[in-house]
Structure 1
């Protein structure tokens, strides 16, 4: 990755100027295999992370690695214009003389007072929507498939993002969606008629769109709350643990399979299809890019294909980052089975409501400590975590 692309990667993560901190980015064959989950508290050059300031530099380093090896580079800001058309916020983005427009439908709540906090749904919001609306939270539909298609492996380079940046751009669909969400937030900031408080935004999505929600939350610090729903491998489920589930005879999606299914990742990510242990990071660190902002991982124990055990244990490892930052109550894990995919069960409504009340409605004293599963998974991450968690000051 050249200096220009590293700078773009840093800017995309709101970390402009981190190029002097960029890690070495060797080829797959030159990366050292790491069977356990890599240490988020050690820089690529071996230095330990000792402070919260160090974590910001480490986060910058991880942001570059994740974009280089897994996602592709998310471009920086582009000129945006916006207008309301009925319930739709029509967003127009211009780049080098080309313009791409997309509508984002806004469903204002029954309760609360404008300007309203809002949850952006990657494709849709499939949470306890009626509760959220009564609480005063608006729902916004982000049409991610218009930004970057995800029909199958033949979708690469298709969609409005690629009309602007070229069909050969290295960004996979999720990096393109993240760029689109950032442009939507730009539009909300400059459109008072939308009646949305752009300082109180969440992002959510389910399944493949849950993966996208994590990426959007990781790469835009204006997002205060990320709710990842049944996001599976490449979302909350880590590559290494999913491989272990598969090796144990379970029907779990792995890196080897996912790169053949769709275009969510950068094209070159397929190099890791037989070498997931050579990745210098795993999904616990991708989720960790959100820290110390809020993340709620909502999982379904019944979905073996999505890496049910992997999602729980990888999320446990990610939670150590919030613990190190003294923000453990801003990262929750709620896993329960026995319900259809992407249909939030009533037993998880309270967790979603608590996170919305605290992080979007600014209610004090809301208990957001949640770490639950109805599975038989080990709650101690030590089998996969061989590093220590520091207390960062």
Structure 2
């Protein structure tokens, strides 16, 4: 899904001060460097630290007040967005090549691991390397999640509103109205290149995101989610958390995972009052070694996944040590005696019982009549109070396309704040979207998708294609 994460390079060096971390990497005749700012809490050190992606993550004031330092990590210096898959750029690709099949999320995770390498080598007088956290929101929530999955040194992983390519189960995304797999794959090179074969067939994958949660277990995991924006896939994210929690329970660590989508404010990436207490508890438990973790499943009834729809397996109880070998009676028909059933004490996880309610099905414009030799554009809309996400499917006619332009007429008061898989001209009224360099060629009868996030209401928008 994400591409290979190479092991530690042959040379990693750098420095840690009270305000900055520098990282220098050399490997196979190539070298690169990057840095990150540090903000210490107002108390004696050394301190554990939380790596915050791109300035968007858990509330930094609460992090410092709880006793952890903040490392402000710019993931774009390690893996730059806005590039094609054959020309990836940033510190990771300086070492492993611009045509590396590793996607940005894994490249960013590699960068976090190199920061931890430098902290480990620094002697621990300012920052401690045995207790590191990571957090981010939206695309940076995807990044924080992947970083926690693939580095066992990260004691606390805190993704926020991570959306497709983050926590939501990939098999659930198409039915929820979340950002489609093809849209997330094409918007930026977040996924690894190999995932392109599965964007239309998630059932063909041998893995799904609950197993990524299982790779974090039994380390600390605090997932903060937004049930008000279907485009983020919160229902599918709750399924991943619930299924992943079964791994935590099997390991006797049920209280080490918290999923919290029961929030009133629907603003994307807002610092919510409901999260301050579990955030503080998690930092104290997993980074400072004091108190107990929150251990809660606070799932909003707006976007509550039904685990029984997805799981057909029974959670085992795991124990340390070798698996007991059943004794066998040497008779003509050997029959093994029943295997023992150990039942270690498992920390209970609070189990709220929200009333699940189905996420509203995204509204879609009726498909226009076929346009032989040209193209058609249809829009699916995910609307919330004050904003929306529009996903637009461009379908070629009988002769295929070597480029396309979709004209979108927005309702009064609506505006475009962010677009992907396209280049837009204008942000309000009549807006023209042309293909990106990688999705202009569309075979006869085939489709591609682009999308944009908007302010106001998208109800009633009109689209044409040429």
Q: TM > 0.5 between the two?
A: yes
Q: Is the 8 A contact 1:155 1:263 kept in 2?
A: no
Q: Report whether the alignment pairs 1:299 with 2:225.
A: yes
In structure 2, the CA distance between the partners of 1:306 and 1:296, relative to structure 1 (3 Å rule), is same
Partner of 2:70: 139
The one of the two structures with greater contact order (alpha-carbon pairs below 8 A, sep at least 6) is: 1
2:301 counterpart SS class: coil
User: Residue by residue, what CA displacement relative to the aligned partner does 1:48-85 show, whole Å, maximum 9, x if unpaired?
Assistant: xxxxxxxxxxxxxxxxxxxxxx1111111111111247
Partner of 2:407: none
Deviation at 1:131, TM superposition (A): 2.1
Q: Report whether the alignment pairs 1:90 with 2:17.
A: no
Q: Is the 8 A contact 1:255 1:273 kept in 2?
A: yes
Aligned residues: 317
Q: Is the 8 A contact 1:117 1:198 kept in 2?
A: yes
Deviation at 1:346, TM superposition (A): 0.4
In structure 2, the CA distance between the partners of 1:86 and 1:382, relative to structure 1 (3 Å rule), is closer
Partner of 1:151: 82
Q: Give, in whole Å, the separation in 2 of the partners of 1:158 and 1:362.
A: 39
1:164 counterpart SS class: helix
How do 1:73-152 and structure 2 match up within 5 A?
73-78=4-9, 79-84=11-16, 87-111=19-43, 113-124=44-55, 126-151=57-82
TM-score (norm 2): 0.65
Higher share of residues assigned helix: 1
Deviation at 1:121, TM superposition (A): 1.1
Aligned partner (choices 362, 374, 382) of residue 308 of structure 2: 382
Q: Report whether the alignment pairs 1:343 with 2:266.
A: no
Aligned partner (choices 106, 109, 121) of residue 178 of structure 1: 109
User: Residue by residue, what CA displacement relative to the aligned partner does 1:287-339 show, whole Å, maximum 9, x if unpaired?
Assistant: 21111111111001112111121111221111111111111100110002423
Q: Give, in whole Å, the separation in 1 of the partners of 2:90 and 2:258.
A: 34
Deviation at 1:156, TM superposition (A): 4.8
Q: Give, in whole Å, the separation in 2 of the partners of 1:223 and 1:84.
A: 18
Larger Rg: 2
Q: Give, in whole Å, the separation in 1 of the partners of 2:294 and 2:234.
A: 22
Q: Give, in whole Å, the separation in 2 of the partners of 1:348 and 1:239.
A: 26
Q: Report whether the alignment pairs 1:361 with 2:288.
A: yes
Aligned residues: CA RMSD = 1.8
Q: Report whether the alignment pairs 1:211 with 2:211.
A: no
Stretch moving more, 144-153 or 258-267: 144-153
Higher share of residues assigned strand: 2
Q: Report whether the alignment pairs 1:328 with 2:254.
A: yes
Q: Give, in whole Å, the separation in 2 of the partners of 1:245 and 1:310.
A: 7
Q: Is the 8 A contact 2:75 2:108 kept in 1?
A: yes
Which runs of 5 or more structure 1 residues have no equivalent in the other structure? 1-69, 247-251
Which runs of 5 or more structure 2 residues have no equivalent in the other structure? 320-466
User: Residue by residue, what CA displacement relative to the aligned partner does 1:97-128 show, whole Å, maximum 9, x if unpaired?
Assistant: 222110111101113x3110110112235322
Aligned partner (choices 257, 260, 264) of residue 190 of structure 2: 264
In structure 2, the CA distance between the partners of 1:344 and 1:86, relative to structure 1 (3 Å rule), is closer
1:224 counterpart SS class: strand
Q: Report whether the alignment pairs 1:223 with 2:154.
A: yes
TM-score (norm 1): 0.77
Q: Is the 8 A contact 1:156 1:263 kept in 2?
A: no
Partner of 1:163: 94
1:289 counterpart SS class: helix
